[in-house]
Structure 1
Amino acid sequence: MHLFKLFGVIDVRFADILDIFLISIVAYYVFLLFRGTRAVQMFVGGGLLLIGWFLAQWWELHTVVWLLSNLATLGIIAVVILFQPEIRGALTRIGQSVANMNLRTLFFHQSGLNQVAEEIGTAVQDLAKNQFGALIVLENRVGLRNYADTGEYLNARISSRLLRALFFPNSALHDGAVILNSRSIVAAGCILPLPAITTEQDTSYGMRHRAAKALAAESDALVIVVSEETGYISIAYRTTLRRKLSVKEVEEEIKRHWRGLFDESESQK
């Protein structure tokens, strides 16, 4: 049964509308499953390749079509290999209830970047003074949910007292990393990756510094490390590790790291 003609040419049936509706729902929930992980960037790249394939078909660029078709075949295998943690995490979340979603936490924003930087800086200063080892990860645009899944979810307001408590030596979560986004403390007691290849320079670093360097190298996160042996404060970002920083320098790095996210948040209000 035809409902109407699209553009006066294409016959549209009720089944076609239902088909598009169901596919949209599936695509939406797939996005929710992978939101906050590195797989999002992979989907964007795959979408661009798909658009390129359609354009190549339209313009009859047979060599480009052949190349993109073969890349797609290899890409499926590469996705399974590279994104095993995300795929495994997404499958375990299928069928789980969303009734425990905290909407207040989801939409809550800190009053300002300066306040957030000061809260983290105060905590780092106290931890360094008492030589309590700490590993604080500041997520940026690349999601770190696959690492947050290895710890305990908190979704708590960013506060210096809570950060100090999480790294207190008698705390059950003090050995792991704490992951923060620009709105909240996401999770604590998280396990970070260690570098696959250890250089001669890395042998002089402790496990926290090595984990910080490994995560910073594969994401756009800023990782703050407090040494348990010396109390020195270090920051890992991309391929660099800066050591013996002051609290003031740490706060400035936090502001520089999150300024873009806070500006976007303010413009959307």
Structure 2
Amino acid sequence: MGHWIKSFFDNYISGMYFPDVRLTDIIEILIIAAIVYRVMLWIKNTKAWMLLKGMIVLAAFIAAAALLRMHTILFLARESIPALATAAVVIFQPELRRALEKLGEKNLLNNINPFDRSRDNHRFSDGTLESLVKASFDMGSVCTGALIVVEQATQLTEYEVTGIELDCKVSSQILLNIFEHNTPLHDGAVIVRGDRIVSATCYLPLSDNMQISKELGTRHRAALGMSEVSDALTIVVSEETGQVSVAMGGQLVRGITPEYLSTRLSQIQFRASELKKFNIWKGRHGHEEV
């Protein structure tokens, strides 16, 4: 038995190469794994997911051609790779831009900066919170469609300039007036910064999420789209059903209650990020739907 083990070790084990694994190598592997995981989560609900599936099919086809030694196909594939890479960058430029925007939202330097006292300040007052909740459900009770974007850390200047500039204190009466049917400002979104309404009739980016219910209209797609490109919280009131929904962090929760909306707004009332709490609360909420 001992001779067999020695023979096996001499023939198979002794000739194998075992690289030195350092702590930095392990950290590097973990970083790469985390990046790949985040990229996979990001592309899952975008057009890039179809690109990935197409690349997998193409890779399988090229692998089969390599096994069967189809030299012409391999030559064409080798020569086409640079052109395909350039075409992918051009076609998926909006998705790549969105990914970079998401990366910029992390605010890592601000989070680790102990001297940044501004993070302890309120984003908006309790009066603004109550006005947002009251206006949303008052409009819902009479089926008045509305789209209200509550800005957080990410500045929404590029969307603000697409609308009509305002500078007024948030109140339920003003919001009801803005979104009243057939008024000049009712179409589009309102952007709230702190305790002020800064713009109305704003255009928001529509979501490319393929899993959105077909029942949802442009307002809900715009709310979800805004939540995908920024850290803003967006309130949607359906013109058809009067149902109030909220979008944040790429998630849409439909048919919420005044208590739920009040809780969500109170959680983002401070400068610290509350996206994680939103996802936890969403999972516990009884009527979430995308």
The change in CA–CA distance for 1:116 and 1:110 in structure 2 (over 3 A counts) is farther
Q: CA deviation at 1:173?
A: 1.4
Q: Which residue number corresponds to residue 248 of structure 2?
A: 237
Q: Which residue number corresponds to residue 269 of structure 2?
A: 258
1:26-45 equivalences in 2 (<5 Å)? none
Deviations 1:166-214 (A, max 9, x none): 000021111100000113101000011112x351434331110000001
Q: Which residue number corresponds to residue 216 of structure 1?
A: 227
After TM superposition, the structure 1 stretch with the greater mean CA deviation from structure 2, 130-139 or 242-251, is 242-251
Contact 1:225 1:233 in 2 (8 A): yes
Contact 1:113 1:255 in 2 (8 A): no
* Inter-partner Cα distance in structure 1 for 2:123 and 2:210: 42
Q: Which residue number corresponds to residue 199 of structure 2?
A: 187
Quick one: which amino acid aligns to residue 244 of structure 2?
I
Contact 1:158 1:184 in 2 (8 A): yes
Unaligned runs of 5+ in 2: 1-92, 99-120, 273-290
Contact 1:217 1:238 in 2 (8 A): yes
TM-score by length of 1: 0.54
The change in CA–CA distance for 1:169 and 1:117 in structure 2 (over 3 A counts) is same
TM-score by length of 2: 0.51
Contact 1:147 1:190 in 2 (8 A): yes
| Pick aligned residue for 2:159 from 141, 147, 167 | 147
Secondary structure in structure 2 of the residue aligned to 1:116: helix
Q: CA deviation at 1:219?
A: 0.4
Q: CA deviation at 1:82?
A: 4.6
The change in CA–CA distance for 1:134 and 1:112 in structure 2 (over 3 A counts) is closer
Quick one: which amino acid aligns to residue 151 of structure 1?
G
- Point out the structure with max Rg over C-alpha: 2
* Inter-partner Cα distance in structure 1 for 2:248 and 2:123: 25
Measured on the aligned residues, the alpha-carbon RMSD in Å equals 2.8
Sequence identity (%): 35
* Inter-partner Cα distance in structure 1 for 2:191 and 2:136: 14
Q: Which residue number corresponds to residue 165 of structure 1?
A: 177
* Inter-partner Cα distance in structure 2 for 1:140 and 1:110: 11
1:56-75 equivalences in 2 (<5 Å)? none
* Inter-partner Cα distance in structure 1 for 2:177 and 2:256: 22
| Pick aligned residue for 1:123 from 135, 140, 150 | 135
Secondary structure in structure 2 of the residue aligned to 1:172: coil
Contact 1:202 1:210 in 2 (8 A): no
